[in-house]
A and B are shown apart, each in its own frame.
Chain A
Amino acid sequence: MSNIDRRTLVRGSLAAMVAGAAFSRAALAQSSEPILLGVSGPLTGPNAQYGAQWKQGFDLALDEIHAAGGINGRKLAYQFEDSQSDPRQSVAIAQKFVSDPRIVLELGDFSSPASMAASPIYQRGGLVQFGFTNSHPDFTKGGDFMWSTSVSQADEQPLLASYAVRRLGLKKLAVLHLNTDWGRTSRDHFVKAAKDYGAEIAVTEGYIAEERDFRSTLVRVRDANPDGLILISYYSDGALIARQARQVGLKQTICAASSVYSPKFLELGGEAVEDVHLGTRYFPQDPRPEVKKFIAGFKAKYNGQEPDAFNAYSYDAMNMAASVVKIGGTDRRAIRDAFAKVKDVSSVIFGQATFDVESRRVKGAMNAELVVRKGQFALWDGKPT
């Protein structure tokens, strides 16, 4: 359920109506009703797991925001509408949010087709669409109400290429990527950067998200004779590829994009992901205070569960939303303008996040070079594997 229980909401509004005889409703809203954000994302359907992870990050951030006194004394809440990452439903949700005066800002959706189909409605309706996992290069081109804290692949992939080529000394690479807009854009940025650093790209293979069997793909990879495998994958498919690579007898170094950074990657991959290298935006032993606070808070709230990349994205997004609302208040247009004003918001992914007003994205994601050692993520010590 969304952070404010619907029944509470209904009861709250009933109470407000009753009280309306004595007070003006607006005045009451000023004092007691929470500031409401709309979230459009998958709670059911094939991407439901990501919606569930979003909620964990949102709820943790809200706990901290409220403990610190809320938004100028008012609470912040969100209304999560399930889109199943389906453009038909995300456009209806967009109209719902745009025509609901209580919603001051929208977060999501998850997939590019669902998010970008809704963009024209948010743009015309004058409600900010804050897409924090939308890496599609055209997302923020939808209009000046589209803002994103998704790490730009033009930023991230050269870091991964530098790790693989310069630090690990790999010279001939095989790139396996999810054949989605994200995977494809990432691959192109990676290949360009890796070539600039002097590596050769032996083969690139795109696979669809539902794929589970990679053995034949890996034979192709083996025949190309690379000295390293690059996985532009999410954690579940990344784990499958790592396992099957070992089964078909590939012993090359594996280096993966930050999206595999999840305790689930270790759980699903088992021994096969030992010695897998990955770049991430933060890591458990990170000395940065915002990271320590995030990890400790997350473990305390969710029974010792380790957070992953999507938890961090949504946690950061809610904190960013709070900072923006603090500046912009509850006026939608003022909130849009506040995105350009907000500066150095404490962020797990970026350290300090400030929007580039031109691209409406945030640059300068943090980078850490990790390796899986004894079933745990650890900072790479520079030793070859």
Chain B
Amino acid sequence: MSSWLDYTINGLIVGNVYALVAVGLALIFGVSRLINFAQGSIYLVGAYIGWVAVVQLHTPLPLTIIVVAATAAVVGLILERFGLRPLQNSVRIAPLLATIGISFVLDQLVMLTFSPNPRALPSQLPDIRFQLGGGTIGPLDLLIAGVGITSALLLFVFLRYSKLGWAVRAASQDRDAAMQMGVDVNRVNQAVFGIAAALGGVSGMLVGMYYNQIDTAMSLQATLKGVVAEVVGGAGNVPGAVIGSLLLGLVESYGVAVFGTSYRNLFAFLLLVVVLVLRPNGLFASARQAPPEPLTGTFIAPSRPVRIPRWALAVAAAAFAILPLFPVSFYVLQTLINAWLLGMLALSLTLVAGTIGQVSLGHAALLAIGAYTSALLSLALSVPVGLAVIGGGLMSAALGTLLISPSFRLRGHYVSIATLAIGEIVSLVILNWESVTRGPIGISGIPPLSLFGYDLISPTSIYWFSLVVMVALALLQGRLLTSHLGRSFRAIRDDDIAARAYGLSLNRYKSLAFIFGGFAAGVSGGIAAHLYSYINHETFNTQQSILALTVVILGGLGNVVGAIVGSVALVGLPEVFRIAAEYRILIYGVVLLLLVRFRPQGLLGTI
């Protein structure tokens, strides 16, 4: 079967490309236990610096590589010094958010400097093709493989045999102990970020040359695939990241071979979930290896929440309730409707991520399930819209909990990565399950919101409706948090072993949290579907999940009022910055970074 040989070769070739990003991610995770969402942005920066060097300055390839590596390393050092080091003593989740903010800022800077049009990045290697199987490979394939494998080996040797390498490993095992033994942890972190960034920059350039194409959208995709590969290989394990990448490439290639192109990413993310469930430390972790996350809940540190008196909340709710009676523009109302809808999603996520400690990065999937259920119920079965929205909530609760249940045994970052994958899987199933979801064509002509036979069409009525639903869900959740159940949730978050010792069934409580959270998110998605009248698989995407998590962290994990305040802020800010046109997302990123820097426990603090 010569085709299988070709699929294998192609899988290895693309795995090769993923490995470059995965190695950098693994290095950073190994030391600082941080998924660096900015790694894709450094990759992007490297690609564009490579473009300047090759196309404008006509540097020869070795010099190009040095220039790109050096510049990217400087970017990495700046990022570490000003973006992450100030956060090292704060909540462990703050640096994660900081890397997201940094990636916004870097991507926007590149876009503003170079325009969003894709550019050609010509390869500087001779165009010789070697016959391999039915296809050919070129010198760039070999160079990429060489860089990937050599850097993984060098890093492995460096970590194992050099003094700084020992320091790096000591710092990754126990920062405080390493510091007491005289390890300069800051220098270690600097070294790691410098190396990882240099590698990220060079890989962006090489991949750009490989495809003869660079554009500003390549950053998020690189991060996603890199994270998958890294975790499959074992987070923090550098040689494992290379093997994980090759495996990912192979699985994708065979997936295409058997089922067709549109199923490609489905297999990538299924592989991830399977590996996480069966071998949470990655394929190459030794059995004796200590769990990579701390046993008790330092992932989400407790803080003193801001107490807002009840009367103040009541006044605020009343003020928002009577707002449409004043002459405010529909634009303001629509923006607030978006905030209330995001608020429902944030309530769901703040319960799941904040109260019980399962930080989900795939929450948009719950919106999508709710939206599709509600849309299809009202269109295909003519269920009244009000009931269909509730149906969407119930379906989201049931299906969401079922899908997420395999990841209940995971902790910390691994939950985030598993949920990220589950979110992508849901979106790809929607794309491919055409008989039900109508695939890429999407669902159009969804009837508008209506209640007891009255259509809610005017922005004012939709505003009131979504505000009432959100406040009701918030009150319910507030009541929940002060109950016995809420205390059990927090006990599981803070120390799951102690909680289990007290007889709490972890899986049952996690399921309960996801059922309640899934309902709120599903209702939000259902309302959105009837508001937009058209949805497809792209309406609820990964960016929505990241936005929801940002809202929750910004508002304060587990904090109900914080989730709502965060939603209003993060829907409102980009609208306020409209005056800045192309610069608005840049400003938004900077504001986000400043908030994380000065209020890492969130605006209103963790409850």
B1-15 residues with Cβ-Cβ distance < 8 A to A are 3, 6-7, 10-11, 13-14
**In the complex, per-residue mask of B135-174: 1 if CB is within 8 Å of any chain A CB, else 0:** 1111000000000000000000000000000000000000
The distance in angstroms between the C-alpha atoms of A217 and B213, with both chains bound, is 19
Contacting pair B441 A141 (CB below 8 A): no
A44-B582 in contact given A91-B532, A181-B536, A219-B134 (Cβ < 8 Å): yes
Please, which residues of chain A bring their CB within 8 A of the CB of B578? 81-82
A292 at the interface (CB under 8 A from B): no
Contact for B261 among A112, A121, A207, CB less than 8 A = A207
A205-B333 in contact given A213-B14, A219-B134, A264-B118 (Cβ < 8 Å): no
The distance in angstroms between the C-alpha atoms of A82 and B226, with both chains bound, is 30
A198-219 residues with Cβ-Cβ distance < 8 A to B are 205-208, 210-217, 219
Of A24-32, A239-247, A275-283, A371-379, the one touching chain B = A239-247
Nearest CB of B to A79, in Å:
10
Q: Which residue of A lies closest to B254 (CB)?
A: A216
A367 at the interface (CB under 8 A from B): no
**In the complex, per-residue mask of B101-134: 1 if CB is within 8 Å of any chain A CB, else 0:** 0000000100100011111101000000100001
A248-B211 in contact given A2-B581, A82-B578, A179-B440 (Cβ < 8 Å): no
Contacting pair A116 B14 (CB below 8 A): no
B335 at the interface (CB under 8 A from A): yes
Contacting pair A270 B213 (CB below 8 A): no
Contacting pair A181 B441 (CB below 8 A): yes
Of A15-23, A94-102, A252-260, the one touching chain B = A94-102
Nearest CB of B to A357, in Å:
21
The distance in angstroms between the C-alpha atoms of A61 and B261, with both chains bound, is 40
Contacting pair B532 A239 (CB below 8 A): no
Nearest CB of A to B301, in Å:
32
**Size band of the interface chain B makes with A:** 35 or more
A88-B215 in contact given A213-B17, A220-B260 (Cβ < 8 Å): no
Please, which residues of chain B bring their CB within 8 A of the CB of A136? 441, 444
Contacting pair B213 A82 (CB below 8 A): no
A44-B533 in contact given A141-B445, A215-B10, A236-B213 (Cβ < 8 Å): no
A179-210 residues with Cβ-Cβ distance < 8 A to B are 179-181, 183-185, 205-208, 210
B329 at the interface (CB under 8 A from A): yes
A223-B3 in contact given A49-B117, A92-B338 (Cβ < 8 Å): yes
B35 at the interface (CB under 8 A from A): no
Q: For chains A and B in complex, what number of residue pairs have CB atoms within 8 angstroms?
A: 214
Nearest CB of B to A242, in Å:
11
Please, which residues of chain B bring their CB within 8 A of the CB of A247? 129, 135-138
A309 at the interface (CB under 8 A from B): no
A111 at the interface (CB under 8 A from B): yes
The distance in angstroms between the C-alpha atoms of A88 and B334, with both chains bound, is 9
Residue among B122, B137, B212, B534 facing the most chain A CB atoms (10 A cut-off) = B534
The distance in angstroms between the C-alpha atoms of A176 and B115, with both chains bound, is 28
A217-B582 in contact given A48-B216, A113-B534, A117-B534 (Cβ < 8 Å): no
A14-65 residues with Cβ-Cβ distance < 8 A to B are 43-46, 48-49, 51-53
Nearest CB of B to A286, in Å:
24
Q: Which residue of A lies closest to B535 (CB)?
A: A113
A113-B116 in contact given A210-B217, A215-B10 (Cβ < 8 Å): no
Please, which residues of chain A bring their CB within 8 A of the CB of B211? 212, 240, 243
A270-B120 in contact given A216-B252, A216-B256, A217-B261 (Cβ < 8 Å): yes
Contacting pair A216 B7 (CB below 8 A): yes
Q: Which residue of B lies closest to A123 (CB)?
A: B533
Contacting pair A92 B11 (CB below 8 A): no
Contact for A240 among B213, B253, B574, CB less than 8 A = B213
Please, which residues of chain A bring their CB within 8 A of the CB of B335? 92, 95
The distance in angstroms between the C-alpha atoms of A136 and B535, with both chains bound, is 12
Q: Which residue of A lies closest to B583 (CB)?
A: A44
Q: Which residue of A lies closest to B5 (CB)?
A: A219
B531 at the interface (CB under 8 A from A): yes
A109-146 residues with Cβ-Cβ distance < 8 A to B are 111-113, 116-117, 119-121, 124-125, 136, 138, 141-142
B257 at the interface (CB under 8 A from A): yes
Q: Which residue of B lies closest to A81 (CB)?
A: B578
A87 at the interface (CB under 8 A from B): yes
The distance in angstroms between the C-alpha atoms of A91 and B3, with both chains bound, is 48
Contacting pair A181 B575 (CB below 8 A): no
Residue among A43, A89, A92, A264 facing the most chain B CB atoms (10 A cut-off) = A92
Nearest CB of A to B405, in Å:
27
A111-B261 in contact given A87-B532, A99-B329, A249-B135 (Cβ < 8 Å): no
B265 at the interface (CB under 8 A from A): yes
Please, which residues of chain B bring their CB within 8 A of the CB of A98? 330
Please, which residues of chain B bring their CB within 8 A of the CB of A361? none
B507 at the interface (CB under 8 A from A): no
A356 at the interface (CB under 8 A from B): no
Contacting pair B440 A216 (CB below 8 A): no
B59 at the interface (CB under 8 A from A): no
**In the complex, per-residue mask of A317-359: 1 if CB is within 8 Å of any chain B CB, else 0:** 0000000000000000000000000000000000000000000
Contacting pair A215 B14 (CB below 8 A): yes
Contacting pair B440 A46 (CB below 8 A): no
**In the complex, per-residue mask of B54-89: 1 if CB is within 8 Å of any chain A CB, else 0:** 000000000000000000000000000000000000
Please, which residues of chain A bring their CB within 8 A of the CB of B582? 43-44, 82
Contacting pair B539 A87 (CB below 8 A): yes
B530-565 residues with Cβ-Cβ distance < 8 A to A are 531-536, 538-539, 543
Contacting pair B215 A82 (CB below 8 A): no
Contacting pair B459 A268 (CB below 8 A): no
B439 at the interface (CB under 8 A from A): yes
A206-B262 in contact given A91-B531, A216-B10 (Cβ < 8 Å): yes
Contacting pair A99 B256 (CB below 8 A): no
B264 at the interface (CB under 8 A from A): yes
The distance in angstroms between the C-alpha atoms of A241 and B57, with both chains bound, is 29
A48-B136 in contact given A113-B535, A206-B261, A216-B11 (Cβ < 8 Å): no
The distance in angstroms between the C-alpha atoms of A208 and B430, with both chains bound, is 13
The distance in angstroms between the C-alpha atoms of A50 and B171, with both chains bound, is 46
B331 at the interface (CB under 8 A from A): yes
B470 at the interface (CB under 8 A from A): no
Nearest CB of A to B299, in Å:
30
B442 at the interface (CB under 8 A from A): yes
A290 at the interface (CB under 8 A from B): no
Residue among B17, B134, B341 facing the most chain A CB atoms (10 A cut-off) = B134
Please, which residues of chain B bring their CB within 8 A of the CB of A120? 448, 457, 532-533
Please, which residues of chain B bring their CB within 8 A of the CB of A179? 262, 431, 439-440
Contacting pair B538 A113 (CB below 8 A): yes
Contacting pair B581 A215 (CB below 8 A): no
B585 at the interface (CB under 8 A from A): yes
The distance in angstroms between the C-alpha atoms of A94 and B120, with both chains bound, is 36
Please, which residues of chain A bring their CB within 8 A of the CB of B212? 239, 243, 268-270
Contact for A215 among B13, B217, B334, CB less than 8 A = B13
Contacting pair B261 A205 (CB below 8 A): yes
The distance in angstroms between the C-alpha atoms of A34 and B335, with both chains bound, is 27
6 closest A-B pairs by CB: A117-B532, A116-B534, A48-B116, A95-B334, A248-B135, A96-B331
The residues of B with any CB-CB pair to A shorter than 8 Å are 3, 6-7, 10-11, 13-14, 17, 108, 111, 115-120, 122, 129, 134-138, 211-213, 215-218, 220-221, 252-253, 256-257, 260-262, 264-265, 329-331, 333-335, 338, 341-342, 431, 439-442, 444-445, 448, 457-459, 531-536, 538-539, 543, 571, 574-575, 578-579, 581-582, 584-585
**17 A-B residue pairs with CB within 8 Å:** A44-B111, A49-B116, A86-B543, A92-B335, A117-B539, A141-B444, A181-B440, A184-B441, A208-B264, A217-B261, A219-B7, A220-B256, A240-B211, A240-B213, A248-B136, A249-B134, A264-B117
Further contacts, 18 of them, CB under 8 A, given A136-B444, A219-B7, A243-B212: A49-B215, A53-B117, A92-B334, A99-B330, A113-B442, A120-B457, A120-B532, A138-B445, A141-B444, A181-B442, A205-B262, A206-B260, A208-B265, A215-B13, A216-B11, A222-B3, A239-B213, A267-B119
